A and B are shown apart, each in its own frame.
Chain A
């Protein structure tokens, strides 16, 4: 086995090591610049800086990383500790099973795009121009999505059609795009390179159409389509050039059939279709937050209170001519009871409506009430221009909207003068935050942070958090304006193209393996797996490799050590603990996703903790067995810290709950055996909580009187 040591431009000064004859030691000046060559199946120990960085440099090797820089050099600990860490890592590597590379063949080089808004259209045309076959599915009967509902786009103020129609025109030039309207994803199977997507298609109602529009004249059902009135049979001037029936409101009276020169079918059929694709782009876009939940502003309760898009459509179509308008910003946004985040684009939407009304009807008085105006970048010019046009800006958050003498009254405080203020108006516009339109996110296995997908595991954009072969584009990622959406769509198209350049992709994600000779089919692993990846096939335990995420919980649960995670197994951890822990040490077994990162941060934040704190990185706090804790106690540890993610933030869904259950059981046993049960602690330590980690280990160092019996 080889031990590779990075000297980090002589920042790490390791004394000469002697690890026995069968172990070679190699020094490298700087591994970031010059990487050693390592065969994929070779077991190595790499000592240098944090594994969080090293894993990005060496994605596909079998290695145990020893963190000399953050755990020794920056803290000022003596270098003798380094030898212990390296020897322990070597002992661990001797026992583990190497990670078998997972190979995915990119069999199908066509892409599925969910959502034909501006993001989906741009991605589809970029991909189709590069020769990729594209399936574009859309929930509504027409292309265009949210942009087709708008009147104009700012800051330039161009009509929406000047942006959207050229995009649609370019896309329609390509022959290799297949469109499905009125369709939604029902379920998805397979993996990257070979996804099978089941799509549910609702019938359109109109089968042959020459766009004469007679049906619209005779239809008796009138519907409010976000601020604009339309009939149950309707047309949006994008694509396809056919009318469509809204079956949610249609009464099936049959008037349209009588006048139609084409063909209309009024029975609502649902069919299913299977689409095969190698990659999926999620461009499902956004929705306005339901502002009727913000009860004090009276949406749905008071006439004249409307959302921004309703207002824009009503003004643009000439249905509404207001005299006095109040635009309230941050409705539901930055609010712990509604949306805790800032949706980034609603400030411009509010400003845009003010501009729209000032351009159309210059005599209308417009008030904008905002707690903070976030007009970043070039939008500041737009904000200045509106002030020149006479829009009054009030800083504050309105407490309520109510009716007095038939007028709407907005009550607020003007923060600039510290006075209470009431505005009477005929129209109140609520500029609300946005939520993703996400019925597909959980079907595709996309991990969410709040409402929106997590794109990367860390700020360094090292590991993508999205499932392989699945990409997001536009406002499905986060609410964004049309310009940002187009840029994001091109980025998604680029990602798909670079995936399709390869014939196969190889990754080294560890899987659990079952040793059938040892396995007694006790089924304990089946219950403990957070992903239901383990099942019984032909009276034998089988691990579904597609579902397994490599948490290692089953390998700890197995009473006969038959289940072993590649790259991490109970025996390896035992070896590591046995060689690492000396009398009086404190062992910290830290989850690689949260608590371990806190130790890195502790070093950079110039915290210091005692040098007898020895840190081992584990895949999950749930992958620590009570027997390991007992082993550490027998080796003389005076305190054991198990650090995991906060209860709702476990990377493996519920590993930390498993850890909690084990901790309680362990403490009972320790008490029975005569140990002080408080020397074992399970703590939730967040990624950035360096101070918490340092406080805990210092406390443990002071409090513990060693692992001796009472």
Chain B
């Protein structure tokens, strides 16, 4: 049962402030997103309409602690069909970002983050892979990309994910738009590349551009 005694009336306004959360109040509950969702077709427990509805009702704990929030595959089928023009996938993203800020990041994501930090990619490259690439005539790749760790350090994402209450961390407050979104990370990545390039101009020995 949904008990509105536990509802937080500010929850929806918090989500609206986030990037991607702007369209939340337009939802009139037609269920087109839920019917379009391919994830839902395989696992009925995931329902974007239900997530939006609970957010509108202010059921903060239910939404943020729900494991199904993280099921979204970002195929944007819902965004394509929503009659009210809500960017549903981005909205779910906004709720996810809020969940991470509030310390609700699932363990799997934390493990992925560790992988990223250690290797620079989610998939570990072994000698076997390199041999396979050689056979296909592809150039070899580095086993680790240390620049990614630098990016992650710059975005302070580790502290945000691992801390129980992200708001206590002053450094993270300054970077309020940092998120799991690849776009954001990519943006930072480009910035760092630029910074490095300008440094490298003074020392021409090291010429390596990260792309």
Residues of chain A touching chain B, judged by Cβ–Cβ distance below 8 Å, are 296, 330, 334-338, 371, 395-400, 411-413, 415, 418-420
Contact = CB atoms under 8 A, between A and B. Distances in A.
A399 B32 contact: yes
Interface stretch (B77-85, B128-136, B143-151, B185-193): B77-85
Specify which of A371, A399, A419 lies most central, judged by the most chain B CB atoms within 10 Å of its CB: A399
A413 B31 contact: yes
A337 B80 CA distance: 10
Contacts of A412: 31, 35
Contacts of B84: 335-336
Given A419-B44, A420-B40, A397 B32 contact: yes
Contacts of B32: 397-399
Contacts of B67: none
Which 6 residue pairs spanning A and B have beta carbons closest together? A399-B35, A336-B85, A335-B83, A399-B36, A397-B30, A371-B30
B47 interface: yes
Contacts of A396: 30-31, 35
Contacts of B81: 296, 399
A398 B47 contact: no
A275 to B, nearest CB: 43
A302 B41 CA distance: 23
A338 B81 CA distance: 11
Contacts of A335: 83-84
B29 interface: yes
Contacts of B30: 330, 371, 396-397
Contacts of B63: none
A412 B41 CA distance: 11
Nearest to A410: B35
Interface centre among A395, A397, A418, A419 (most CB of B within 10 A): A397
A337 B44 contact: no
21 contacts: A334-B83, A335-B84, A336-B83, A336-B85, A338-B83, A396-B31, A397-B30, A398-B35, A399-B32, A399-B36, A399-B77, A399-B81, A400-B36, A411-B35, A412-B31, A413-B49, A415-B29, A418-B47, A419-B44, A420-B34, A420-B44
A410 to B, nearest CB: 10
Given A337-B83, A371-B28, A399-B36, 11 more contacts: A330-B83, A335-B84, A338-B83, A397-B35, A399-B35, A400-B36, A412-B31, A415-B29, A418-B50, A419-B44, A420-B44
Nearest to B77: A399
B83 A420 contact: no
Nearest to A395: B31
A412 B77 CA distance: 14
Nearest to B50: A418
A420 B41 contact: yes
A397 B85 contact: no
A398 B77 CA distance: 13
Nearest to B35: A399
B15 to A, nearest CB: 20
A412 B30 CA distance: 10
A430 to B, nearest CB: 14
Nearest to B40: A420
Nearest to B49: A413
Interface string B27-58: 01111101110001100100101100000000
Interface of B: 28-32, 34-36, 40-41, 44, 47, 49-50, 77, 81, 83-85
Nearest to A339: B83
A397 B36 CA distance: 10
A397 B44 contact: no
Nearest to A334: B83
Contacts of A418: 47, 50
Contacts of A398: 32, 35
Nearest to A332: B83
Contacts of B49: 413
Residue picked from B28, B34, B50, B77, most chain A C-beta under 10 Å: B34
Contacts of B47: 418
B72 to A, nearest CB: 16
Contacts of B28: 334, 371
Contact of B35 (A330, A337, A338, A413): A413
Contacts of B40: 420
A450 to B, nearest CB: 15
Q: Which of B35, B41, B49: most chain A CB closer than 10 A? A: B35
B49 to A, nearest CB: 8
Contacts of B29: 415
Contacts of A400: 36
B130 to A, nearest CB: 44
A335 to B, nearest CB: 4
Nearest to A335: B83
A330 B31 CA distance: 13
Contacts of B50: 418
Given A396-B30, A415-B29, A420 B85 contact: no
A400 B81 CA distance: 10
A462 to B, nearest CB: 32
Nearest to B33: A399
Nearest to B36: A399
B21 to A, nearest CB: 17
Given A336-B84, A399-B81, A371 B35 contact: no
B83 A415 contact: no
B75 to A, nearest CB: 12
Contacts of B85: 336-337
A45 B34 CA distance: 62
Contacts of A337: 83, 85
A342 to B, nearest CB: 11
B104 to A, nearest CB: 24
Contacts of B31: 371, 395-397, 412-413, 415
Contacts of A411: 35
A585 B81 CA distance: 51
A243 B29 CA distance: 51
A397 B47 CA distance: 14
A336 B36 CA distance: 17
A137 B179 CA distance: 63
A579 B88 CA distance: 55
Contacts of B34: 413, 420
Contacts of A336: 83-85
Contacts of A399: 32, 35-36, 77, 81
A399 B40 CA distance: 12
A39 to B, nearest CB: 54
Contacts of A397: 30-32, 35, 83
B106 to A, nearest CB: 24
A467 B34 CA distance: 47
A398 B33 CA distance: 9
B90 to A, nearest CB: 16
A412 B36 CA distance: 8
A512 to B, nearest CB: 42
A395 B40 CA distance: 18
A449 B178 CA distance: 41
Contacts of A415: 29, 31
A166 B41 CA distance: 55
A597 B37 CA distance: 45
A413 B30 CA distance: 9
A336 B26 CA distance: 11
A259 B78 CA distance: 59
